[in-house]
Amino acid sequence: MKWLALGCVAALVGALLLWRSLRAEPQAAAPAAAPAPTAAAPRPTARPAPDLPAHPVVEGPVAAFERDEPDEDAPIPIDSDEFFEQLDEVYSRRLTGVAHDCYEGGLPPKAKLRLLFRWQIKGGEVTIHDVKVHESTLGDAKVEACMVKAVANAHWRDPRMPDWTTRVGEEERVLIRIENLKRFD
């Protein structure tokens, strides 16, 4: 028991000394001695070629990292991430905005209308075809019919998009939820 107590005291003293040495301000390190110069064979001096300037000419500041900015007018490659982001995110929001004009209030916020349809993009014209109701909890036939008609008649120009059509049997979906229509007010 006596040895255990003595060992604990020694460990405590060692920890205290270690803690104090870490907290003390670091001493200025002595500068390292410079290596002694060695006698090396003289190097031949290189002369620039007569037709090249001795120093390169740099015009203006040089950026550390030069990145090519994407061209906002460049066509979007078919089946690329940007292509599907355009369809799934941008165009779906646009369709929800078109359906917004049909809603005049009074429906529960969680009410929704899910539509199936097909995209057709030709010559930069984006149109919607074969619109049908997949699921509806609106409970208002007039609002539902108006939203279906508004989405079916939606069209716009996007000259960056390539010619493309949704394949038959692979319909696209858009979910129009009443609580999300308020952002289009």
- What is the reported pLDDT for 61? 61
Q: What count of other Cβ atoms lies within 10 Å of the Cβ of residue 175?
A: 14
Whole-angstrom Cα distance, residue 152 to residue 41?
A: 85
**Beta pairing, strands 155-157 & 112-122:** unpaired
Q: H or E segment at 80?
A: none
Reading the chain (185 residues) residue by residue, the pLDDT tens digits are: 777 877 888 888 888 777 777 776 555 445 555 555 555 555 655 555 556 555 656 566 655 555 556 567 788 898 899 999 999 999 999 999 999 999 888 899 999 999 999 999 999 999 999 999 999 999 999 999 999 999 999 999 999 999 999 998 899 999 999 999 888 87
Q: Domains in the chain, please, with CATH? A: 81-184 (3.30.1150)
Nearest of 93, 170, 172 to residue 131 by alpha carbon: 172
- What is the reported pLDDT for 59? 66
- What is the reported pLDDT for 52? 56
Nearest of 44, 39, 140, 70 to residue 99 by alpha carbon: 140
- Kindly report the pTM of this predicted structure: 0.59
- What is the reported pLDDT for 51? 62
* Torsion 13-14-19-24 (CA) sign: positive
